[in-house]
A and B are shown apart, each in its own frame.
Chain A
Amino acid sequence: MALLFKFLKKARDKQAAQRDRNTFQTDHGILVFEHTSEVIQAERRLKQSGWDVRVMGPPPEIQTGCDLVIVFPLIEQLEIVRLLAANNNEPLQVVPVTDPLLEPVSLFQTKDFGDYLMIRAANMKITVDKQTRIIVNISGGGCPDVPWLAGVMVGQQLDAAPDPLEIGHTLCGYALGLACKEMKRQCLP
């Protein structure tokens, strides 16, 4: 009997996982385009590049754009939008499934350590030596590109370091890119 229950539970769990895939998942985002032809073009391009994307009807909150949208893994927004922009296929809007009215973080917190300046954007922090403008630390974040980005950026001059908005992959990379941009605004002439 216990085995039967275990089997039924597993079958139910698999069904639930499949059902989730057929609806809007909470960790997904929506790419909104002006014309259906752009949606088709973007879907083909993204699928060819190996992305797990689907074309669906838009949720009611989205007022602009055409009557089809592309649903994609939100965490990979930075890389997906970069790929589309490089092919002149940029979306009108990118919004999270959970609430299409949510906007990316725009609140920066600055902490002055005397010789060093730290800026936080969402969960990401970047710290720079004020005199040499060398990036001395990157902390926070939870996506796997953060330790990699830290590895390539720490020890570099702020204006010469690779830009996370260009080489990062995830939303943590995106947040670090915004923190970096704000640091440049505050530190560079």
Chain B
Amino acid sequence: MLAIVGTVPDNDFGLAEGRVALETDHLHMNGRTIPVNRGTPALLGAAIQTLAVFGHAPVFGFLAGDTGKGRGSRNLYEHLVDNVSLSGIHTLVFHYLQPDTDWHNRVLFRLQDLETAPILIADAGFMYAAKMSGAAPSYDLFTPDAGELAFLADETAPHPFYTRGFILHTDNPVTELVDRAYAHDNAARYLLVKGAVDYVMNRQGELFRVEGPSHEAMEAIGGTGDTLTGIVSALISTGMAIPEAGFAAAKANRMAGQYASPTPATGIDEIIRHIPRAVETVLNQKRYL
């Protein structure tokens, strides 16, 4: 089973866990309705759309309402550490959460106590906390964009906001930044680097790169990184190997974008609608199905 931990931008949402469904651009969970725009709801939407190709495998959500004050994230961390059964989860994704190394470590200790460890994927705020905790190698996959890769590569930066300019500079090749991140143990077992070119990499170097279909506008659209993380997580949860899942997800995310004929003003919900067709096309091409 695929499980996703994250936040929704609504302080009144409280704390919720359960199966998540997608109907007409809205998520449904325990009788609540969540609009799919960006952030964790976009990741969930993309994951559900991907698994629809495989016959609607369940997606489980652990969600908290948080608009940046951190209270919802901390309640969710506490809930994961003290109250939740984590058995039966094959792939566990951590997403938009207030970065907090203390709580990150407690969650990781809990996961390390499980009889069968799930595949661990981290993106967004939780990836920041994983790096700052010095625990990045405990994860199977990080999915950084350019700014976040520079942050992983900067061993002193506590947040992308403090990444040093000489590392943040766009002239730095991705391979150099990835090498630097691994040299300081600040990367997961695999990296799916999102950008004009998407890269699947590990400590040994580049495994795959995906350059097309290419639409410059995708870079400006909020949520395209979330959908990529959602697609790759869903594919991994079906048993696909991480590098191949990274390649297929990068290709499918781009194709979904292409089907939406994007401009920099396109909303992510328009792209999510095209994910099943894109995933099916890519998987058929690669004979994964």
Which residues of B from 186 to 201 have beta carbons under 8 Å from A? none
Report if A102-B156 is in contact (Cβ < 8 Å); known contacts: A20-B102, A25-B101, A76-B70. yes
Q: Are A98 and B156 in contact (CB under 8 A)?
A: yes
Least CB distance, B214 to chain A, in whole angstroms: 14
Q: Are A144 and B156 in contact (CB under 8 A)?
A: no
Which of B48-56, B121-129, B249-257 is near enough to bind chain A? B121-129
Write the chain A residue with the least CB distance to B97. A144
- Say yes or no for A47: interface residue by CB 8 A criterion: no
- Say yes or no for A84: interface residue by CB 8 A criterion: no
Residues of the B chain whose Cβ atoms lie less than 8 Å from the Cβ of A125: 219-220
Q: Are B168 and A20 in contact (CB under 8 A)?
A: no
Q: Are A98 and B147 in contact (CB under 8 A)?
A: no
- Say yes or no for A106: interface residue by CB 8 A criterion: yes
Total inter-chain residue pairs, C-beta < 8 Å:
207
Q: Are B219 and A145 in contact (CB under 8 A)?
A: no
- Say yes or no for B38: interface residue by CB 8 A criterion: yes
- Say yes or no for A158: interface residue by CB 8 A criterion: no
Least CB distance, B221 to chain A, in whole angstroms: 6
- Say yes or no for B148: interface residue by CB 8 A criterion: yes
Q: Are A129 and B265 in contact (CB under 8 A)?
A: yes
Instruction: Mark A146-184 against chain B: 1 for CB-CB distance below 8 A, else 0.
Output: 111111001000000000000011111111000000000
Report if A137-B163 is in contact (Cβ < 8 Å); known contacts: A113-B216, A142-B96, A143-B68. no
Report if A143-B99 is in contact (Cβ < 8 Å); known contacts: A148-B68, A174-B161. yes
Interface size class of B (residues with CB under 8 A): 35 or more
Report if A105-B219 is in contact (Cβ < 8 Å); known contacts: A17-B102, A173-B68. no
Q: Are B9 and A105 in contact (CB under 8 A)?
A: no
Q: Are A146 and B96 in contact (CB under 8 A)?
A: yes
Instruction: Mark A90-107 against chain B: 1 for CB-CB distance below 8 A, else 0.
Output: 000000111100111111
- Say yes or no for A140: interface residue by CB 8 A criterion: yes
Interface size class of A (residues with CB under 8 A): 35 or more
Residues of the A chain whose Cβ atoms lie less than 8 Å from the Cβ of B7: 144, 147
Write the chain B residue with the least CB distance to A74. B158
Report if A148-B67 is in contact (Cβ < 8 Å); known contacts: A105-B162, A143-B125. yes
- Say yes or no for A68: interface residue by CB 8 A criterion: no
Least CB distance, A29 to chain B, in whole angstroms: 8
Write the chain A residue with the least CB distance to B169. A107
Q: Are B102 and A102 in contact (CB under 8 A)?
A: no
Cβ-neighbour of B162 out of A9, A103, A115 (below 8 A): A103
Q: A125-B220, A169-B67 are in contact. List 5 more A-B contacts (CB 8 A).
A: A73-B70, A102-B157, A113-B220, A139-B219, A168-B68
The 9 closest A-B pairs by CB, nearest first: A145-B68, A142-B124, A169-B68, A147-B39, A123-B147, A148-B9, A136-B265, A139-B222, A123-B160
**A–B Cβ pairs within 8 angstroms, 9 of them:** A79-B69, A98-B132, A107-B169, A116-B264, A118-B220, A123-B161, A144-B97, A147-B41, A147-B96
